[in-house]
Structure 1
Amino acid sequence: MSAPRDIEPTQGADVSVAAVLALLDLAAKGRPDERDAVTDLLLTERLDTATVNQVGRRVRELQGAVARLRRRGQELSALFSSARELAELHDVDLLITRLVRRAHDLAGTDVTYLSEFDETTHELKVRSTAGAVAPSFQKLSVPPHTGLASKVVESRAPQWTSRYEQLHDVPHVESIDSAVRAEGLVSILGVPLIAGDQVLGVLFAANRDEHAFSPEEVSLLSAFADNVAVVLQSARLLTRTREAAAETQYAYDALAAHVEAMERASRVHEELTTAVLRGGGAADVARTLGAALERPVVILDETYAVIASSDDRSTASVIDPPAIRSAITDSLASGHCTLLNPPPGDFHAAVAVLAGEMMLGGLLIGAGGVELGAVEQRTIERAAQITALLTLKQDAVLYAEDRVRGELLGDLVSPDFRHHSSLPARLQARRLRPDDLRTVVIAVVAPEQRRAALRAAHTAAAPSGLAGEVDGVVTLVVPESDPQRAATAVRDRVCAGTGVGEVLTVAAPPAETLEELSVRFSAARDCCRVLAALGLEAAAVAADAYLPYTTLFAHDPTSVRQFIEHTIGPVLRWDAERGTDLLATLHRFVDCNASPARAARLMGVHTNTVLQRLDRVTQLLGSAWREPESYFRVSVAVRLQALSETVLDPSSHNRQRPQDG
């Protein structure tokens, strides 16, 4: 540095106090001015060149020292702030964002960003940015052994380039280069984030113009990176500690909940066992389980009728939507509780009540406060087993009673008169009056419905009658003196008890004495067989209405179809093939005592029409069909066929007589 020509320095001159103060101010700035203000100031004091250079060098050293102290102060401030945020923040992402912003302010570059090292993929993924604008850059991921970032990780030392596009000593990837170009970065400095022996990531400072990073800038960013690495490692450890604590708390809560559930299950099991020992029933199971689960519990029988509930639900209702049936069917196959998802209505779980492979009913669990976990589901299954035990116990009692009553009923309707002398005393022992046992009613149901039908029959016969199974059919002897009303009442009760739409019930004429009951039973049973052979499975009838047909075919009910086919089969086939209705004309002709004119009037057609149709019948059946013997057979066959084709209206209580046509 040369002195101005117009000033002649004076060797050994003193410096003024004002100049000293000015030099101290310049040193305190911590950075040199664009022009050399120190030299200019010293030359005004008329000092020699050597002195000017010596003082100027010392002032600039002071400026450097002050600058370093300020940087260290900034670093310490950043470190203290990071430590404070680490203690205050629970969100690691937010902490990293703040650290990057502080590094951005400290470095003074255009863009600052932090890439975190992924130990699984060994990629460096941009975690946070400050000053970046390109979306692609903010999601940048650098593969291993690629770009400046990988060079920093592998060397574990700062790396920088003043012009990224001229960086040729590292492999390039087009996706990374495109992101750098999109952000407009030219010069990039990267320093490693090292904690112990582990590289956590890289802290970058970049400019959008060419720039040669000075050792001070590299040192400053490296020092801050060391602080960031410590903070980041501490944050990771703190996060893991919190996660471990949360997992421990979760495990503790789960254990506490499990213990509570086990205690609740133990209480339920104890109360249900007590209910079994003291002779309780399904209502005790529903009430105990409902109180323990804080959920409504409904118990169904095998027909899905409600037999007990923890709330005040009517036991006359039936719950059998498809979802409920499907859930109980699944439980029947698996033996376990089935959760309903989505729940149909108010019910969230179902389990079948089983005895071996026989379904006795089901348990339905409604909505409530206690979660249906594994222990709760096992508790529900145990309750279903207790319900099965109670049901079997009650059935055993009923079976014993039924056996006594069944033997009594069997002797009542038996043709063996050897037991009749003891019947009055035996009836009196069962608190039954012989005069009340008037009408025999038989109900025809499928074998799988017989158990439910017998329960319904006992209800229908109580308290003055008897019900049971005789010769494989459900049989009742009731006080009702009107056979039709008796058949209808039993039909309605059995339909409700079995859950089926219709059953066949037949009532014999009332008996005047106990000895007549065996004959009435035979008449009702024969009538059932004939009607069943005709295909009638849904009716409530009085046996007397079908007495002629019963008399003819009781010995072989299956022959009734053969008789119809043999007698009027050609007429039936003619109608079926051509869509005609000769049978209706023939039926009306029979009803009108073989009078074509009367038949025509009743049918609303001309007599010649009836005669033409009868001629067709003659062609089909032969000319002898109107002879007395043949005509009788045709009349019976026509009435039987009309009876088998009659669609009985439930609203009419099935009182239609076959002769009504």
Structure 2
Amino acid sequence: MSGSGPPNGGVSVETVLALLDLASTGMPDEHDAVAELLSAEQLDAAAAAQVGQRVRELQGAVARLHRRGQELSALFSSARELAALHDVDELVSGLVRRAHDLAGTDVTYLSEFDERTRELRVRSTAGVIAPAFRRLRVPPHTGLAGKVAETRAPQWTSHYAQLRDVPHAESIDSAVQAEGLVSILGVPMVAGGHVLGVLFAANRSEHAFSPEEVALLSAFADIVAVVLQTARLLSQARDAADETQHAYAELAQHVAAMERAGQVHEELTAAVLRGGGATDVARTLGDALERPVLIVDEHHALVAASDGSAAVVDSDPVRSALAESRRSGRCTLLDPPVDGCSAAVAVLAGDLVLGGLLIGDGAVELGAVELRTIERAAQITALLTLKQDAVRYAEDRVRGELLNDVLSPDVRRHSDLAARLRARRVRPEDLRTVVVVAVAPEHRRAALRAAHALASASGLSGEVEGVVTLVLPGADPREAAALVRDRVRAGAGTDEVLAVAARPADTLGELSARFAAVRDCSRVLAALGVGSAAADADEYAPYTSMFAGDPTAALPFVDRVLGPVLRWDADRGTDLLTTLRHFVDCNASPVRAARRMEVHTNTVLQRIERITSLLGESWREPEPFFRVSVAVRLEGLRRRLRAEP
């Protein structure tokens, strides 16, 4: 049939095939090719118009099918990407771009619902020009977005400026105007009964959105909703898994800490039962915490160390931490650590402070269980200290009774004394030098402990007539007094220690008189204001005998006799007392005094004249001169002892 027209006014095969080719392209007939083909056929105008209309309808149907295929392909691709769900932000941005390409609008953007502020904030855009638009936030119940979220249905407008049935906000209108948007379509993203956001397609010109455009955007909105919901569920699952793992780790740490604490308590209890001491506590706690542990007494002197170290952490922050622990009754952390010390806890027995535990740096973290373990170790230390003190007290009481009997003037208490001393492993021949110690009441307990440590090997110590007293092997009195003073200073943590010793006794029977001498001497020296010294009682025997009955009268005596001279020197910066002392020592000879002082005799005479004006004309007569001599020597004694280190 090629090249020949059909009979009876029909259409040729070539024309039919050409018309079918035009219809299958789905492209609009811009050059009226259908009319050109039909004009060559023998058809009337009505038939040609009918055929042309039918061909154009076929073109539209094919175009819609082609577009639908692209949409389905895009949706299937999006579904495959959703199945992977690697990067949520990248996937959401890709979906927005794909919707933008298929919708053919000028702008496409996604606003996500912010659960904290209840706002819709722009998360992803395609085709946006104005930077401010990407930061757009829509308050609740505002604008077209608010209406979409509330109705959960697609909403659109052909001219946003003429939209009157929604509340407007100046910030939103300004952003829309800056972007030049006119027609806007918004569809909700709903998942699990919750609105997750709104997907928008917009043009910069008026446009009536077709049902196909609404359906296409809604399909993409559903996919994005699935993406966001899945991402949230995965995030919640990851958070739950992380919380579970964290809880498991904490539980494991807690169980390990409890096991460690149980082991520490068991070992400390065993240490108490077997009669252990502070060293056992320090070593056990140090091994459990994998940290060095030091135990100090109430004066911060080292008692025990877990590693055998002799170093002591002694600083203001550490002392402050121990003071805070005493107030709170809890372990105090040092943040940051000071000199390697991370924690401190006071060792207490009621209101009695027995010392403290210092915890160094280490691998084991100091959590709640570890802190309670340290506090319990401090309690065990207090129990051990009290137990040891009780044993020591019982021993001291026995030895103290022996000491009192040794120093008693009652000879009836001396019967079988040598045998009783040997029963306590004390050799009677070693008890020769008596030393008494005067300290402030708050340091007496520590002074007794230091005295006991010093005398435990070959002597006796204790309290006699309220005074810390020791009886030691024979030694030079001043050396013995200096030894006791230094040991008590170190043990009691105070420099104010007065130690007085007597010359060694030849027999046990002489110790009573020696004790009376050193006791009276210490009282006189204390009354003179001498708080720290090491003295030989024999050097001050004349003054002790004068004031033993009333030691408090010694200082008033000096003031009464020498007061005018002392005040003259203090007010004018002179030193008449030195001249007076040399004058007394030289038997009232101005010449000898001048020679000793290496000054001219007239200088001494002038000073003596000034002293006479202060003390009165009769001070050089025998009785007043004796009193002046005693007072001068007492004042010199007081000044010398107070100047000693």
TM-score by length of 2: 0.90
Q: Distance in 1 between matches of 2:181 and 2:497?
A: 90
Q: For residue 636 of structure 1, what is the aligned residue in structure 2? A: 630
1:370 to 364, 370, 373: 364
Q: Give the deviation of 1:402 after TM superposition.
A: 0.9
Q: Distance in 1 between matches of 2:453 and 2:33?
A: 120
Q: For residue 342 of structure 2, what is the aligned residue in structure 1? A: 348
Give 1:199-238 correspondences, 5 Å limit. 199-206=195-202, 209-212=204-207, 214-215=209-210, 216-238=212-234
1:336 to 327, 330, 334: 330
Q: For residue 659 of structure 1, what is the aligned residue in structure 2? A: none
Cα pair distance change 1:71/1:100, threshold 3 Å: closer
Residue type of the alignment partner of 1:514 = L
Q: Give the deviation of 1:562 after TM superposition.
A: 1.1
Q: Distance in 2 between matches of 1:41 and 1:394?
A: 124
Q: For residue 261 of structure 2, what is the aligned residue in structure 1? A: 265
Give 1:506-517 correspondences, 5 Å limit. 506-517=500-511
Q: For residue 147 of structure 1, what is the aligned residue in structure 2? A: 143
For structure 1, which runs of at least 5 residues remain unmatched after alignment?
Answer: 1-9, 655-661
Q: Which moved more, 1:500-509 or 1:484-493?
A: 500-509
Q: For residue 657 of structure 1, what is the aligned residue in structure 2? A: none
1:555 to 539, 549, 554: 549
Q: Distance in 2 between matches of 1:164 and 1:411?
A: 114
Q: Distance in 1 between matches of 2:202 and 2:534?
A: 97
Q: Is the 8 Å Cα contact of residues 81 and 91 (structure 2) preserved in structure 1? A: no
Q: Secondary structure at the residue paired with 1:12?
A: coil
Q: Is the 8 Å Cα contact of residues 24 and 59 (structure 2) preserved in structure 1? A: no
Q: Give the deviation of 1:514 after TM superposition.
A: 0.6
Q: Is the 8 Å Cα contact of residues 28 and 59 (structure 2) preserved in structure 1? A: no
- Number of residue pairs aligned between Structure 1 and Structure 2: 631
Q: Secondary structure at the residue paired with 1:342?
A: strand
Q: Which moved more, 1:209-218 or 1:56-65?
A: 209-218
Cα pair distance change 1:278/1:608, threshold 3 Å: same
Q: Give the deviation of 1:568 after TM superposition.
A: 1.7
Q: Which moved more, 1:572-581 or 1:548-557?
A: 572-581
2:584 to 575, 585, 590: 590
Q: For residue 14 of structure 1, what is the aligned residue in structure 2? A: 13
Q: For residue 658 of structure 1, what is the aligned residue in structure 2? A: none
Q: Distance in 1 between matches of 2:179 and 2:531?
A: 86
What whole-Å deviation, never above 9, does each CA across 1:426-485 have from its counterpart, x for those lacking one? 111122222211111112222222222222212222311111122222211111421111
Q: Distance in 2 between matches of 1:474 and 1:508?
A: 15
Q: Give the deviation of 1:191 after TM superposition.
A: 2.0
Q: Distance in 1 between matches of 2:276 and 2:298?
A: 20
Q: Distance in 1 between matches of 2:266 and 2:114?
A: 56
Q: Distance in 1 between matches of 2:387 and 2:532?
A: 33
Q: Distance in 1 between matches of 2:90 and 2:532?
A: 77
Give 1:412-561 correspondences, 5 Å limit. 412-561=406-555
Cα pair distance change 1:68/1:309, threshold 3 Å: same
2:307 to 303, 308, 311: 311
Q: Is the 8 Å Cα contact of residues 275 and 281 (structure 1) preserved in structure 2? A: yes
Cα pair distance change 1:473/1:230, threshold 3 Å: same
Q: Is the 8 Å Cα contact of residues 189 and 213 (structure 1) preserved in structure 2? A: no
Q: Distance in 2 between matches of 1:309 and 1:133?
A: 73
Q: Give the deviation of 1:649 after TM superposition.
A: 6.0
What whole-Å deviation, never above 9, does each CA across 1:537-558 have from its counterpart, x for those lacking one? 1212212222222222221111
Cα pair distance change 1:269/1:56, threshold 3 Å: same
Residue type of the alignment partner of 1:74 = A
Q: Is the 8 Å Cα contact of residues 83 and 231 (structure 1) preserved in structure 2? A: no
Q: Give the deviation of 1:412 after TM superposition.
A: 0.9
Q: Is the 8 Å Cα contact of residues 82 and 99 (structure 1) preserved in structure 2? A: no
What whole-Å deviation, never above 9, does each CA across 1:134-176 have from its counterpart, x for those lacking one? 6654443322222222122122222334554444443233333
Q: Give the deviation of 1:571 after TM superposition.
A: 2.4
Residue type of the alignment partner of 2:634 = L
TM-score by length of 1: 0.88
Q: For residue 51 of structure 1, what is the aligned residue in structure 2? A: 51
Give 1:565-604 correspondences, 5 Å limit. 565-600=559-594, 603=597
Q: For residue 399 of structure 1, what is the aligned residue in structure 2? A: 393
What whole-Å deviation, never above 9, does each CA across 1:90-143 have from its counterpart, x for those lacking one? xx5565555545545555555544322234543223344456566654443322
Q: Secondary structure at the residue paired with 2:529?
A: coil
Q: Secondary structure at the residue paired with 2:478?
A: helix
Q: Distance in 2 between matches of 1:141 and 1:16?
A: 59
Q: Distance in 2 between matches of 1:97 and 1:147?
A: 24
Q: Secondary structure at the residue paired with 1:501?
A: coil
Q: Is the 8 Å Cα contact of residues 140 and 179 (structure 1) preserved in structure 2? A: yes
Q: Give the deviation of 1:257 after TM superposition.
A: 2.3
2:296 to 294, 300, 305: 300
What whole-Å deviation, never above 9, does each CA across 1:481-504 have from its counterpart, x for those lacking one? 211111111122112222223521
Q: Distance in 1 between matches of 2:106 and 2:524?
A: 103
Structure 2 residue 67 is the aligned partner of structure 1 residue 73: no
Q: Is the 8 Å Cα contact of residues 488 and 505 (structure 1) preserved in structure 2? A: yes
Residue type of the alignment partner of 1:293 = L
Give 1:167-182 correspondences, 5 Å limit. 167-180=163-176
Structure 2 residue 192 is the aligned partner of structure 1 residue 192: no
1:361 to 335, 349, 355: 355
Residue type of the alignment partner of 1:344 = V
Cα pair distance change 1:561/1:123, threshold 3 Å: same
Residue type of the alignment partner of 1:472 = G
Q: Secondary structure at the residue paired with 2:291?
A: coil
Q: For residue 389 of structure 1, what is the aligned residue in structure 2? A: 383
Cα pair distance change 1:399/1:193, threshold 3 Å: same
Cα pair distance change 1:41/1:304, threshold 3 Å: farther
Q: Which moved more, 1:428-437 or 1:18-27?
A: 18-27
Residue type of the alignment partner of 1:611 = L
Q: Distance in 2 between matches of 1:15 and 1:502?
A: 132
Q: Distance in 2 between matches of 1:326 and 1:133?
A: 64
RMSD: 2.8
2:244 to 244, 248, 257: 248
Q: Is the 8 Å Cα contact of residues 15 and 37 (structure 2) preserved in structure 1? A: no
Residue type of the alignment partner of 1:26 = T
